[in-house]
Amino acid sequence: MIESARKTILLVEDEIIIATAESMTIESFGYDVVAVHDGETAVDMASGDGKIDLILMDIDLGGVIDGPEAARRILEKRNVPIVFLTSHTEREYVDRVKEITRYGYVMKNSGDFVLRSSIEMAFELFESKMQEKKKNEGPKASEELQASEAQKNAILNGITTNIAFVDSELKIIWANKTAARSVNKSPEEMKGHACYKFWADPAKPCPNCPTLKAFQTKKTEQTIMRTPDGRIWEEKGEPVFDSDGNLIGVVEIAADITERVRTEEALKQSEQRLQFVLQGSRLGFWDWNLETNEVSRNERWAEMLGYRLDDIEFSVKQWDDFIHPDDREMAMKSINDHIEGRTPIHMAEYRMRTKDGRYKWILDQAMAVSVDKNGKVNRMSGTHTDITASKLAEEKIKALLAEKELMLKEVHHRVKNNMNTVASLLALQEELVKDESAVAAAALKDSRNRVTSMKVLYDKLYRSDDFKETSFREYISPLVEEIVNNFPNRAIVKIEKNIDDFMIDAKKLSSLGIIINELLTNIMKYAFTGRKSGLISISASLADNNVRISVCDDGIGMLEPADFSRAEGFGLQLVEMLTRQLGGSIKRESGTGSENGSGTGFTLEFGLY
């Protein structure tokens, strides 16, 4: 196949927007395009630039001279193929260009296929005419004509569209190889035979044949046809005139669009299935064209709000008007975030006003489905789901939870009061027996401290988000202060705390609270007797699932045996029992104070889990 340089087309169109769109279309055909917007500039450009290979000329131009006059002036200076591109079909417009040598008369908006074929045919006819001219100039011209004819045939045969030139009896004068291959013939075998013999009924022309109509109307005709073999064709008849304006034949152009039509039909079926799904799922559907700002919706979308689809405007404003004022900003922000690429989808719940003035809760979900050449979203599609019932159920659950929370607060208040009452009763009983029995008073005081330990734990668990476990530091630190504050010698005691924070099971924490209560109670009772000051050090740490708690003082030391199982006091016996319950161990050390031999320390270790 002979390759040629990229050709340049001069587009003369006074409407800038139309010129821009047509330029893009023509460039997609593989041509360079120079666009001008008035006849004067077109004459100057075509006359001075020899690289212009073809001119597409609008008839009505807004300048001093119109399209036909511009064409005449250009042809006076150089020979170049001119195709008139216009939206007018009236005879008077055809007559205006009748006396001008031209290579086509193409209607605007007749489709890319028609425009492309017209341009290709104009080039071919112009080339053929030039070759004929050279042929008449002598033997050399004849050789050049043959070469040009070969080039023309190479071009025609390289086009993948069926092209044939027929006379008034629809007999084929010539056909390209693509047309011949489509019926398993050679171009020579097709010459002299009626075109319909190969592609339709051998006995008569095709119904609505565009080629036959082009002979009758002397205008470009186009239609979609189906051949007996089931193929679908986009067919065009392009009339060809001689220099005197006489119709000499019609170029029949046919493109096999079977696959394209099947794809379109499959898409239509897919859209129908989508509609069935939407109807079955009771979803409202909307599709927003951001370039035109038009919104299409299905019947269900309107039905959710008590309307018919005919009552709804095809606009974004209609949607905006329906949204509850308090939800409008949130809904629009969600859509804008998606359009600008900040979120993968648009999803929002908001209220929409129904026809009777009430509000329904709607779940709106959507995605961008297409973008323009700059990557900007130009279309979105989404669905509406009526979630009013679930929203009302959710609000009812929230109300029940709030009621439950109120009841829990009341129960907590009463339990806490009851614990305080028990502690107060123990304190009163302690006061009553202290003169009669110091031992009984001490026992009551110890019991009151144990109740205090449980009260602090209960309060911490209630205020925690998790009733099963809570922070060790937040429980132990205030508990230490509360226990020590119950003793009259609190003023002389300094407390040092180094407690790591970790979560611990509430059951373990209850035992730990009692253990620490017993150890601190024992220290406050006996460690600082006869002393003007004292120090208590408490530390806790967690390492490799092992909790280590130390309670030390710098007091006078203990006479109790180091073995807790042989201790006589109930408090230390209780410590030993609770340590076993934790699955841990506890040991006592002497000499933990600053003075030699003074002070006592207790170290408790157990596994956290």
530-570 per-position pLDDT tens digit: 889 999 999 999 999 999 999 999 998 876 655 666 666 67
When mean pLDDT is compared across 226-235, 307-316, 464-473, the lowest value belongs to: 464-473
| Phi and psi based region of residue 357 (left: phi greater than 0; alpha: psi -120 to 50; beta: remaining) | left
When mean pLDDT is compared across 42-51, 139-148, 213-222, the lowest value belongs to: 139-148
pLDDT of residue 157: 66
Q: Is residue 276 over pLDDT 70?
A: no
Joined tokens for residue 162: 């069926």
Q: Is residue 215 over pLDDT 70?
A: yes
Q: Is residue 416 over pLDDT 70?
A: no
pLDDT in tens, 329-339: 999 999 999 99
pLDDT in tens, 151-202: 666 666 667 788 889 998 889 888 888 888 888 888 888 888 888 888 777 7
112: pLDDT confidence band, cut at 50, 70 and 90? confident
Winning range, highest mean pLDDT, from 134-138, 238-242, 404-408, 546-550: 546-550
Q: What is the mean pLDDT of residues 432-449?
A: 76
Nearest Cα to Cα of residue 156 among 191, 186, 184, 117: 117
pLDDT of residue 348: 94
- pTM for the whole structure: 0.35
Which regions of 466-608 does DSSP assign to beta strands (E)? 469-471, 493-499, 503-505, 534-543, 546-553, 585-590, 600-607
pLDDT of residue 486: 80
Q: Is residue 494 over pLDDT 60?
A: yes
The strands making up 172-175's β-sheet, listed across from edge to edge, are 172-175, 162-166, 247-256, 232-241, 221-226
pLDDT of residue 158: 64
Average pLDDT of the chain is 82
pLDDT in tens, 356-390: 999 999 999 999 989 998 889 999 999 999 999 88
Q: Is residue 138 over pLDDT 60?
A: no
- H-helix or E-strand spanning residue 11: strand 8-12
Q: Is residue 219 over pLDDT 50?
A: yes
Quote the percentage of the chain above a pLDDT of 70: 84
Query: What is the rounded distance in angstroms from the CA atom of residue 609 to the CA atom of residue 599?
Result: 32
Amino acid identity of residue 358, one-letter, is R
pLDDT of residue 2: 39
Q: Is residue 279 over pLDDT 70?
A: no
pLDDT in tens, 162-171: 888 999 888 9
Joined tokens for residue 481: 């202060």
Provide the CA 84 distance to its chain's centre, in angstroms. 46
Four-CA torsion 324, 328, 334, 337, nearest 10 degrees: 170
pLDDT of residue 326: 95
Query: What is the rounded distance in angstroms from the CA atom of residue 352 to the CA atom of residue 296?
Result: 18
594: pLDDT confidence band, cut at 50, 70 and 90? low
pLDDT of residue 495: 94
**C-alpha pair distances (Å), 236 with each of 127, 162, 219:** 22, 10, 11
**C-alpha pair distances (Å), 589 with each of 497, 559, 577, 592:** 19, 12, 19, 7
Asked if residues 430 and 423 have their Cβ atoms less than 8 Å apart, the reply is no
DSSP string, 427-491: HHHHHHHTTT-HHHHHHHHHHHHHHHHHHHHHHHHHHSS-SSEEEHHHHHHHHHHHHHTTSTTGG
Query: What is the rounded distance in angstroms from the CA atom of residue 219 to the CA atom of residue 461?
Result: 92
Asked if residues 67 and 60 have their Cβ atoms less than 8 Å apart, the reply is yes
Q: Is residue 414 over pLDDT 70?
A: no
Query: What is the rounded distance in angstroms from the CA atom of residue 125 to the CA atom of residue 41?
Result: 26
Q: Is residue 466 over pLDDT 90?
A: no
pLDDT of residue 609: 85
pLDDT of residue 565: 61
Asked if residues 449 and 517 have their Cβ atoms less than 8 Å apart, the reply is yes
pLDDT of residue 145: 46
Q: How many residues does the chain have?
A: 609
